[in-house]
Amino acid sequence: MKKTIAFMLSVCMLFSMTVSAKESVTVSSECDISDIDVPLDSTPVNAAIGQTLEIKAKSVVLMEPNTGKVLYESNSDEQLPPASITKIMSLLLVMESIDRGDISLETVVTASEHACSMGGSQIWLEPGETMTVNDLLKAAVIASANDACVALGETVAGSEEGFVALMNERAKELGMTKTRFVNCTGLDAEEHLTTAYDVALMSSALIKHDLIKDYSTVWMDTLRDGKSELVNTNKLVRFYEGTTGLKTGTTSTAKYCLSATAERNGLELVAVVMAGESSNDRFGGAKKLLDYGFANYNYSSIDAGLKEKTQLEVLKGTQKTVEILPQGTLNVLLPKTATGNIERKTVLSENITAPVKKGDVLGTVTVTLQGEQLGEIPLVAKEDVKRLTLGVTLGWILKGLFQL
């Protein structure tokens, strides 16, 4: 392990000097893994809800991804350069392309001149070199390789420019109102900006794809039949229990950024740290946010509270009533210190007219706690109820005659 790290550091330093000599582009320091083997401070953060966490970063946010609820934030709407956490959106589009069947993990990609010219963190693709989508995902997620990311983007959209247009379109769909992407890698560029809140939104969308975790939870891997070694730039993968991802980012302008995801006891969280003062600040800050979330929140399962069988009258039906059942339970994110009685208000449909299909929503149970609405549980028809027609009526009459 130490030999691998030493090799990667020396190669990264050499490559950085080479690129700097050729052009005045800010080279990503994503390949700086000098502290990757140093464990995190294991002291848990037990700050209560409402207390301020000491995190040395310009902007942070902690979000529950299923509801989008913000559990903690500080300056989360300030526009900042995101560095390689930009790749979260790039990876989301790749995952969605795989889901649609446009590409597969086995799709073979030929590296373009443009993809190979990225600089910064990379796997040193050569123009014309072929690699599967699976291997390019390894490189982009685990090692934050810019050349691999661009190659994937070109595969999805034909060009990086076209891919970036898709990124911005998808950002709007997710409600990322303060985000503008200029490239798909996160290398510093004018007007390439986002916010911690927006990063949390796209991170929440990405981790809904279980496939991404096959890459984002890997500590070490290889490419090119073992000739190229990959070490995950996210040290939480190794040192934080329940880590599921997600992406680091570092440039001289953006400083140290991280979107970290973790899951414990069914509760998944997204912690975003932007413009941390050091690598340790971003990892330590994300750990504090995640600790805070796991210490203070959990899911509670709430039922509809129906104690007796409930029948509703059906007009013009082949039967006079239909039974309704709650459609599951309500899983609610609540502070562990939440107090008070859960209240339920049931509203049933009136003047129900056949036909009724099994599963039709015929009412709701609204659940509240201390005046705050937690959610609704639909009440649905247990069975079909056909409409009473002349044909059905004649059928009944004929059936009755034959039974005499």
**To which H or E segment does residue 18 belong?**
helix 2-22
Active-site residue, 97 included: no
**Residue pair 118/150 in contact by the 8 Å Cβ criterion:** yes
Does the CA dihedral 63-146-121-96 come out positive or negative? Answer: positive
How crowded is the C-beta side of 159, counted as CA atoms within 13 Å? 3
Active-site residue, 144 included: yes
Catalytic residue among 121, 144, 203, 259: 144
Active-site residue, 252 included: no
**Residue pair 199/193 in contact by the 8 Å Cβ criterion:** no
> Would you say how long the chain is, in residues?
404
**Residue pair 311/325 in contact by the 8 Å Cβ criterion:** no
Instruction: Quote the radius of gyration of the chain (alpha carbons, Å).
Output: 27
Q: Which residue is listed with tokens 């109820």?
A: 385
Separation CA 402–CA 404 (nearest Å): 6
Beta pairing, strands 310-315 & 352-353: parallel
Separation CA 25–CA 190 (nearest Å): 12
Report in angstroms the alpha-carbon separations of 317 from 310, 321, 323, 349, 354: 17, 8, 13, 16, 5
Separation CA 142–CA 302 (nearest Å): 39
In the chain, what are the helix, strand and coil shares in percent, each to the nearest 5?
A: 35, 30, 40
N- to C-terminal Cα separation, the chain: 89
3-class state of residue 275 by DSSP: strand
Report in angstroms the alpha-carbon separations of 166 from 96, 158, 275, 293: 12, 11, 26, 33
Longest CA–CA span in the chain (Å) reads 102
Separation CA 228–CA 172 (nearest Å): 37
Residue 293: closest CA among 255, 256, 240, 329: 240
Catalytic residue among 16, 28, 84, 279: 84
**Residue pair 262/243 in contact by the 8 Å Cβ criterion:** yes
List, by residue number, the catalytic residues: 84, 87, 144
